[in-house]
């Protein structure tokens, strides 16, 4: 990836370590870092592209060297992806469905702890998704919403169908599906209604016909991105007006990709390296798996290039004691407008030694010349760049800090 330019040479980084960039809006990070990196990166890439600018500038070039995919949940003509089709039947199915439900019940990425309604709706969603995958024709999240809110039958009939259907053939109903339905049937009418309405609130996005259309089938699979003959590039494009509304779906896709590609270490050598170019990544909310996976995903051939406007933006999403900065060995900082970010960068740069001279004059103040002049010099410590100087960097300058190397 490209980190910047020094004289006439590009500064590049090709190691497995992750990169974090602090850059406010309109600071030149797109044309200076993101676009050159996408031109230079030879492997596969996933690009979080809010405005679609990187798609317009780099997709044509990357299409010459591999497959290029555009996923826009607000555009029915974009490549489609159905998260439920990534659920593997057999021993993995409950695990995969639970991971999907984890993201569904935390659409904003802001839950510290689930309350009663979120816990019970999570169990209902796991059972409903498994039932839809086994017994319904519409195997999509929109199909799950339609199944749970079918106007032709009450919820009690829906739950009874989940308990009676022979999902496994002769053995009968799937135990996880049956237990989820029985658990809800055992509740009072008011509590059952509250659990159902909570679960349906998490599926509201998939009632949008455009979102339902782009999640109805799979034009690409997770394995295709890194396992094809040629590298593939996936652009996750969302118009700024729809960021909050479509955030749960983008979070779900990134969570599925991250978990699937960090399961088997032995497949690392047979697939392309993957660059996660996540511009404005704090806008996606807290991804618990992503924060913990930064520590080990480099061992699976995944490299992250994270871009945030300031330290405040990261702390708002991940809290003050997050490990995002700890796991990024390369940090790039442009002139920032945030005092705390400037202080953090200044402290990371360390101190330098400078010579200071002191002059003392002695003599009568009315005499034509001074009788005595004494000059003393001493070494003093000074911050390499003060927080004020970090905030006053010219637009053409940036600071690059690499672990174990002077800035």
Co-location of 93 and 203 in the same domain: yes
Residue 190 and residue 93 in one domain: yes
> Please, which pLDDT band fits residue 368 given cuts at 50, 70 and 90?
low
206 and 245 fall within a common domain: no
Rg of the chain over Cα atoms, rounded to whole angstroms, equals 27
Mean pLDDT along residues 332-349: 87
Confidence label for 78 from pLDDT (cuts 50, 70 and 90): very high
Distance CA 241, CA 245 (A): 8
| Residue 292: both structure tokens together | 């913990």
DSSP state of 31: I
Owning domain of residue 38: 14-80+221-334
Residue 367 confidence (pLDDT) above 70: no
The secondary structure of residue 74, as a DSSP letter, is T
Identify the CATH number of the domain in which residue 34 sits.
Answer: 3.40.50.300
Q: Token digits for 81?
A: 């992806």
Identify which of 214, 234, 243, 216 has the alpha carbon closest to the alpha carbon of residue 75.
Answer: 214
Phi/psi region, residue 4 (left: phi>0; alpha: psi -120 to 50; beta: rest), is left
Q: pLDDT over 90 for what percent of the chain? A: 45
Lookup: tokens for 56: 């317009």
Do 314 and 234 lie in one domain? The reply is yes
Q: What are phi and psi of 232, to 5 degrees?
A: -120, 150
Evaluate whether residue 95 is within a structural domain: yes
Q: Are both 232 and 282 inside the same structural domain? A: yes
Rounded to the nearest 10 degrees, the angle between the axes of helix 311-318 and helix 339-349 is 100
| Claim to verify: residue 242 and residue 141 sit in the same structural domain | no
Q: What is the pLDDT of residue 140?
A: 94
pLDDT tens profile 230-263: 999 999 999 888 888 999 999 999 999 998 998 8
Residue 155 belongs to what H/E stretch?
Answer: helix 155-164
* Residues comprising the chain, all counted: 407
- Asked if residue 391 belongs to a domain, the reply is no
Reported as a pLDDT band with limits 50, 70 and 90, residue 268 is low
Mean pLDDT of the chain: 88
Q: Do residues 165 and 72 both lie within one domain?
A: no
The residue among 186, 188, 164, 274 whose CA lies nearest residue 226 is 274
Q: Is 374 a member of any domain? A: no
Same-domain status, 72 and 92: no
Closest by CA to 3, choosing from 21, 15, 27, 17, is 21
For residue 269, tell me if it sits in a domain.
yes
**55 and 69, same domain (yes or no):** yes
The tokens of 381 are what? 């410590």
Q: How many domains in the chain? A: 2
Q: Enter the tokens of residue 256.
A: 């599925």
Residue 107 clears pLDDT 90, i.e. is over it: no
pLDDT tens-place string over residues 6-52: 888 889 999 889 999 988 887 788 888 999 999 999 999 999 998 88
């Amino acid at each position: 990836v490209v980190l910047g330019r020094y004289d006439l040479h590009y500064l590049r980084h090709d190691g497995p370590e992750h990169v974090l960039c602090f850059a406010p809006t309109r600071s030149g990070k797109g044309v200076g870092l993101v676009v050159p990196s996408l031109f230079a990166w030879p492997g596969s890439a996933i690009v979080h592209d809010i405005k679609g600018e990187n798609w317009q500038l780099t997709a044509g070039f990357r299409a010459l060297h591999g497959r290029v995919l555009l996923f826009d949940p607000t555009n029915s003509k974009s490549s489609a992806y159905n998260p439920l089709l990534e659920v593997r039947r057999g021993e993995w199915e409950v695990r995969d469905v639970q991971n999907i439900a984890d993201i569904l019940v935390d659409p904003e990425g802001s839950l510290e702890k689930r309350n009663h309604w979120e816990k019970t709706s999570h169990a209902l969603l796991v059972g409903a998704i498994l039932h839809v995958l086994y017994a319904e024709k519409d195997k999509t999240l929109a199909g799950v919403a339609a199944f749970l809110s079918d106007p032709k039958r009450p919820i009690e009939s829906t739950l009874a169908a989940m308990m009676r259907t022979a999902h496994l053939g002769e053995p009968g109903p799937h135990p996880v599906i049956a237990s989820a339905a029985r658990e809800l049937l055992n509740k009072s009418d008011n509590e059952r209604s509250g659990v159902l309405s909570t679960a349906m609130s998490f599926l509201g996005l998939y009632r949008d016909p455009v979102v339902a259309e782009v999640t109805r089938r799979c034009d690409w699979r997770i394995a295709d991105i890194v396992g094809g003959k040629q590298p593939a590039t996936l652009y996750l494009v969302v118009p700024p007006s729809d960021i909050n509304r479509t955030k749960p779906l983008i979070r779900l896709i990134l969570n599925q990709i991250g978990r699937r590609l960090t399961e088997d270490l032995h497949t690392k050598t047979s697939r392309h390296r993957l660059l996660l170019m996540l511009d404005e990544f704090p806008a996606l909310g807290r991804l618990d798996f992503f924060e913990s996976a930064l520590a080990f995903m480099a061992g699976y051939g995944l490299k992250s290039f994270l871009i945030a406007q300031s330290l405040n933006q990261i702390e708002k999403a991940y809290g003050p004691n997050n490990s995002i900065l700890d796991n990024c060995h390369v940090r790039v900082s442009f002139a920032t407008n945030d005092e705390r970010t400037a202080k953090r960068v200044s402290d990371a740069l360390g101190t330098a030694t400078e010579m200071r001279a002191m002059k003392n004059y002695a003599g009568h103040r009315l005499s034509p010349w001074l009788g005595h002049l004494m000059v003393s010099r001493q070494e003093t410590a000074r911050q390499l760049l003060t927080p004020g100087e970090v905030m006053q960097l010219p637009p053409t300058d940036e600071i690059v800090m690499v672990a174990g190397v002077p800035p």
